Amino acid sequence: MDFASYYLELFDMLNQACKKIASGDYDQQDAERLFELAKRERYPSLLADLAESFGMMMVKVEAREFKMKQMVEEIEQGKTGD
């Protein structure tokens, strides 16, 4: 395999993982693939940087969703507690 094909395959893997994450239709394997691609010692630095950035965005979105669910539960409990 030549370098151009290798890079295209890696960026396609990153693209597919990002598309699934952006749609909200991803699983643990997709997240693990994204974090695997973020390994700078194994993959080209540009690809690893992008993968790390998308991974951090995914983690932050998940944290915000978790926080919002907690807030909704607290609001609902407050309504039923009156």
pLDDT in tens, 35-78: 999 999 999 999 999 999 999 999 999 999 999 999 999 999 98
- Note the pLDDT of residue 82: 56
What are 71's two structure tokens?
A: 């807030």
Q: pLDDT at position 5, please?
A: 92
CB 34 within 8 A of CB 20: no
pLDDT, tens digit (0-9, with 9 covering 90-100), for 21-35: 888 888 889 889 999
Q: Give residue 7's domain range.
A: 3-81
Instruction: Give, as one character, the DSSP assignment of residue 24.
Output: T
d(CA 77, CA 33): 38
Number of domains in the chain: 1
* CA-wise closest residue to 31 among 58, 11, 9: 58
At residue 80, the pLDDT reads 78
Report pTM: 0.78
